[in-house]
Amino acid sequence: MSLLAKQIAKELGISPAQVEVAVKLMDEGNTIPFIARYRKEATGELDENTLRELQERLTYLRNLAEKKEEVIRLIAEQEKLTPELEAKIRAATKLVEVEDLYRPYKQKRRTRATNAREKGLGPLAEVLLAQTPAGLDMVGAAASFVNPELGVATVEEALAGALDIIAETISDDAAIRHTIREITRREGMVAVKASGEDADPTYQMYFEYTEPIAKIPPHRVLAINRGEKEKALAVKISAPAEKIIALMTNNIVQDQNSTFAPYLATAIEDAYKRLIAPSIEREIRNELTAVAEEQAIKIFAKNLHNLLLQPPVKGFTVLGIDPGYRTGCKLAVVDETGKLLEVGVMYPHMPQNQRDKAKAILKELITKNGVDAIAIGNGTASRETEELVAELLKEMNTSVQYVIVSEAGASVYSASKVANEEFPDFDLSLRSAVSIARRLQDPLAELVKIEPKAVGVGQYQHDVTPKRLDEALAGVVESAVNTVGVDLNTASPSLLRYVSGLNATVAKNIVSYREQHGKFRRRTDLKKVPRLGEHTFTQCAGFLRIPDGSYPLDRTSVHPESYGATEKLLAKLGYAVEDLAKGKLGELHAALDRVDLEATAAELGVGIPTLRDIIADLKKPGRDPREDLPKPIFRRDVTKLEELSEGMVLYGTVRNVVDFGAFVDIGVKQDGLVHISEMADRYIKHPMEVVNVGDQVRVRVISVDLKRGRVGLSMKGVH
552 shares its domain with 650: no
CATH, residue 411? 3.30.420.140
Q: 494 in a domain, yes or no? A: no
Q: CA dist 309 to 286, 303, 390, 448, 594, Å?
A: 34, 10, 28, 11, 32
pLDDT in tens, 212-222: 999 999 999 99
Last residue of some domain: 397, 416, 441?
441
Q: 409 in a domain, yes or no? A: yes
3-state secondary structure at position 238? strand
92 shares its domain with 168: no
- Enclosing domain of residue 678: 641-714
Total domains present in the chain: 5
Q: 227 in a domain, yes or no? A: yes
559 shares its domain with 660: no
257 shares its domain with 118: yes
44 shares its domain with 126: no
Contact residues for 106 (Cβ-Cβ < 8 A; gap 6+): none
Q: CB neighbours (10 Å) of residue 214?
A: 10
Please tell me the predicted confidence (pLDDT) of residue 640. Answer: 79
Q: What are phi and psi of 665, to 5 degrees?
A: -80, 110
Contact residues for 109 (Cβ-Cβ < 8 A; gap 6+): none
623 shares its domain with 681: no
Q: CA dist 6 to 60, 65, 244, Å?
A: 15, 15, 36
CATH, residue 46? 1.10.10.650
Q: 143 in a domain, yes or no? A: yes
Q: 371 in a domain, yes or no? A: yes
- 247 and 320 in contact (C-beta within 8 Å)? no
649 shares its domain with 550: no
Contact residues for 80 (Cβ-Cβ < 8 A; gap 6+): 105
584 shares its domain with 658: no
Contact residues for 98 (Cβ-Cβ < 8 A; gap 6+): 64, 67, 68, 71, 89, 92
Name the residue type at position 445.
Answer: A
- 121 and 161 in contact (C-beta within 8 Å)? yes
Residue 617's nearest CA partner among 552, 689, 691 is 552
Last residue of some domain: 598, 628, 658?
628
User: Splitting the chain (719 residues) into consecutive groups of 10 residues, what average pLDDT does each group show?
Assistant: 88 96 97 98 97 96 96 96 96 93 91 96 96 90 95 96 97 96 98 92 94 95 95 96 97 94 97 97 96 92 92 94 95 95 96 96 97 93 92 94 90 90 88 95 94 82 86 94 96 96 97 96 97 97 95 96 97 91 78 94 96 94 84 79 90 91 88 95 94 93 91 91
32 shares its domain with 174: no
- 543 and 557 in contact (C-beta within 8 Å)? yes
Please tell me the predicted confidence (pLDDT) of residue 1. Answer: 57
Q: 97 in a domain, yes or no? A: yes
Q: 636 in a domain, yes or no? A: no
Please tell me the predicted confidence (pLDDT) of residue 463. Answer: 84
Q: 495 in a domain, yes or no? A: no
70 shares its domain with 215: no
pLDDT in tens, 539-566: 999 999 999 999 999 999 999 999 999 9
CATH, residue 535? 1.10.150.310
Please tell me the predicted confidence (pLDDT) of residue 322. Answer: 95
Contact residues for 123 (Cβ-Cβ < 8 A; gap 6+): 145
119 shares its domain with 100: no
Last residue of some domain: 388, 410, 441?
441
Please tell me the predicted confidence (pLDDT) of residue 57. Answer: 95
125 shares its domain with 256: yes
Please tell me the predicted confidence (pLDDT) of residue 638. Answer: 65
